[in-house]
């Protein structure tokens, strides 16, 4: 299994973990790194696309010669798939992990080989995390326009959907503007998905061994994002809007794979290896 670990600055711990190091952004990286500004790439968009710009690199430079013989996918220097027996401790986590103190302990729990449970599935996504239960004070501060439209948001956790979460963090109405640019066969389904679900299989990482499926996903994703660029541009002045293409990808990825393939959710952890000596 090949797992590409995405980072914006070099870190020797990536190779210690048995992962393939990938350098994105404007940093200087060692020769043993895959660097996203090589070959066919959109590295110039990384400042707005974040890890999604490397997904483009996979699509254009890895998939053409890939032959479905092994699982491949991505992780990030802060987020990793872990073994199934750690599921109870990691479910619904958004930050942190119990009792991981160093790189060696992280290495012991990483999922680095295909699991038997994956045999009948096309895609492995992160276990979902819960978006509901937002404090009223935060709702009033960041979701005022949404509340005016639907006051029940203040009292009903089932209203704390992917759509609301996106509007609070990445601009009111923006996810609907983006959805309107999807093909007709996906537009309403995507809006239904973000409007009804209060859990998100996030983080923009996945594993698969289905070449055709991955190629179809990337073709649809980057066609959509290119259209979104005409609406949102590259001038966002806040983190949540500047990197809107990454956050759109994070919502589109679980939607598309769940609609068009057989998906298995798998445990993952947040652990920032850049804070530990390499």
Where does the pLDDT of residue 95 fall: very low under 50, low under 70, confident under 90, or very high at 90 and above?
Answer: low
User: Would you state the pLDDT for residue 43?
Assistant: 96
The answer to whether residue 31 is domain-embedded is: yes
The answer to whether residue 153 is domain-embedded is: no
The answer to whether residue 234 is domain-embedded is: no
Where does the pLDDT of residue 51 fall: very low under 50, low under 70, confident under 90, or very high at 90 and above?
Answer: very high
The answer to whether residue 225 is domain-embedded is: no
Q: pLDDT digit string (tens) for 129-182?
A: 999 989 999 999 999 999 999 999 999 999 999 999 999 999 999 999 999 999
Q: pLDDT digit string (tens) for 54-94?
A: 999 999 999 999 988 899 999 999 999 999 998 877 765 55
The answer to whether residue 193 is domain-embedded is: no
The answer to whether residue 256 is domain-embedded is: no
Structural domain tally of the chain?
A: 1
The answer to whether residue 139 is domain-embedded is: no
Quote the CA–CA distance of 38 and 80 in Å, as a whole number. 25
**The domain containing residue 75 runs over which residues?**
2-128+204-210+262-275
User: Would you state the pLDDT for residue 80?
Assistant: 95
Q: pLDDT digit string (tens) for 185-204?
A: 999 999 999 999 999 999 99
Does pLDDT of 26 surpass 80? yes
Quote the CA–CA distance of 71 and 82 in Å, as a whole number. 15
Contact (CB, 8 A) for 106 and 50: no
The answer to whether residue 75 is domain-embedded is: yes
Look up tokens 């068009």; give the residue: 260
User: Would you state the pLDDT for residue 184?
Assistant: 97
């Amino acid at each position: 299994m090949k797992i590409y670990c995405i980072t914006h600055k070099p870190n020797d711990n990536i190779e210690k973990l048995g992962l393939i190091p990938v350098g994105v952004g404007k940093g200087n990286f060692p020769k043993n790194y895959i660097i996203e500004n090589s070959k066919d790439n959109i590295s110039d968009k990384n400042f707005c696309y974040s890890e999604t710009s490397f997904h483009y690199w996979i699509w254009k430079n890895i998939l053409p010669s890939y032959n479905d013989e092994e699982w491949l996918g991505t992780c990030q220097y802060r987020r990793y798939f872990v073994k199934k027996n750690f599921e109870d401790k990691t479910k619904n986590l958004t930050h942190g992990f119990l009792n991981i103190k160093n790189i060696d302990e992280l290495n012991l729990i990483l999922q680095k080989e295909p699991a038997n449970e994956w045999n009948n599935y096309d895609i492995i996504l992160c276990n979902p995390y819960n978006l509901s239960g937002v404090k009223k004070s935060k709702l009033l501060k960041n979701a005022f326009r949404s509340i005016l439209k639907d006051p029940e948001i203040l009292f009903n956790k089932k209203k704390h959907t992917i759509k609301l979460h996106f509007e609070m963090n990445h601009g009111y109405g923006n996810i609907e503007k983006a959805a309107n640019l999807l093909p007709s066969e996906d537009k309403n389904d995507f809006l239904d998905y973000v409007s009804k679900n209060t859990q998100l299989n996030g983080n923009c990482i996945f594993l698969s061994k289905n070449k055709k499926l991955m190629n179809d996903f990337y073709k649809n994703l980057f066609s959509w994002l290119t259209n979104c660029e005409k609406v949102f541009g590259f001038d966002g002045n806040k983190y949540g809007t500047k990197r809107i293409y990454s956050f759109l990808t994070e919502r589109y990825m679980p939607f598309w794979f769940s609609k068009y393939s057989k998906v298995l959710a798998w445990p993952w952890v947040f652990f920032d290896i850049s804070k530990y000596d390499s």
